[in-house]
Amino acid sequence: MQGYFFLTSPATKLLLKSTFEKGRNGANRISKNGGGNVERELAGGVKVEVVQGDVTAQEDVEAIVNAANARLESGGGVAGAIHDAAGPGLAEEARALAPISPGEAVVTSGHNLPNRYVIHALGPVYGQDHPEAELLADCYRNSLRIAEERRISSVAFPAISTGVFRYPKVEAAEVALRVVTEDAESLRSVRLVRFVLFGEEDSKVY
């Protein structure tokens, strides 16, 4: 089941703090809806959503992001789910773009997925690829850059690197939220950024 969260985790507080601070200058706005959930509208009118669910079940977004491996092949977690749902055409198209390095992102079409595009980002392996935070931030930045280049209006991200690659979830959430907050003002095409967190435990992190 997909639902919206109360956004009170350390990472979310960080975002709210920066949102409120910018709000004083008129750049960002934040409001609570009737259910008590926080809707965040960042600089430039970019909407950020945090939902619990499966990244392959985001029919209403134009692009979903894959927590990929360097070879852009199927795998466990997100990569397995995306390749299963997209069908073999995805691996075939992606093969020509591989390998990619940590922090890099490339784009393919969505094949049998309901989304027009899949953006494949390779996160850092925690404790191995340095500097981790910068490489993880690059994944989000490069994915948003590709989205802008393709004139994509909505993007759904999983929590890159926080599974097999063992990046601590709170730290990873802080990086993700920071990049989106920083980049919001320069986004022209992207109007919606959705973070799709898998389990109930993950949902508490944002």
* Binder among 102, 103, 110, 123 for ligand APR (CB under 6 A): 123
Rama region for 192: left / alpha / beta (φ>0; ψ in -120 to 50; rest): beta
Binding part of the chain for ligand APR, among 34-42, 79-87, 93-101, 144-152 by CB under 6 A, reads 79-87
In the complex, the smallest distance separating the C-beta of residue 150 from ligand APR, rounded to whole angstroms, is: 22
The reply on whether position 78 binds ligand APR by CB under 6 A is yes
The reply on whether position 110 binds ligand APR by CB under 6 A is no
Cα(50)–Cα(71) distance, integer angstroms: 29
First to last CA, the chain: 17
In the complex, the smallest distance separating the C-beta of residue 28 from ligand APR, rounded to whole angstroms, is: 27
* Binder among 15, 81, 90, 119 for ligand APR (CB under 6 A): 81
In the complex, the smallest distance separating the C-beta of residue 84 from ligand APR, rounded to whole angstroms, is: 9
Q: Footprint of ligand APR on residues 155-174 (CB under 6 A)?
A: 158-165
Cα(22)–Cα(24) distance, integer angstroms: 5
For ligand APR, the closer CB: 140 or 198: 198
39-59: b (≥16 Cβ within 10 Å) or e: ebbbbeebebbbbbbebbebe
For ligand APR, the closer CB: 44 or 77: 77
Cα(87)–Cα(140) distance, integer angstroms: 25
Among 170, 124, 197, residue whose Cα is nearest residue 10: 170
In the complex, the smallest distance separating the C-beta of residue 73 from ligand APR, rounded to whole angstroms, is: 7
- The phi and psi torsions of 193 (rounded to 5 degrees) equal -120, 120
* Binder among 77, 91, 116, 182 for ligand APR (CB under 6 A): 77
Binding part of the chain for ligand APR, among 27-35, 108-116, 153-161, 179-187 by CB under 6 A, reads 153-161
Among 53, 120, 52, 124, residue whose Cα is nearest residue 86: 120
| Residues contributing to the site for ligand APR (CB under 6 A) | 54-56, 67, 69, 75-81, 123, 158-165, 196, 198, 202
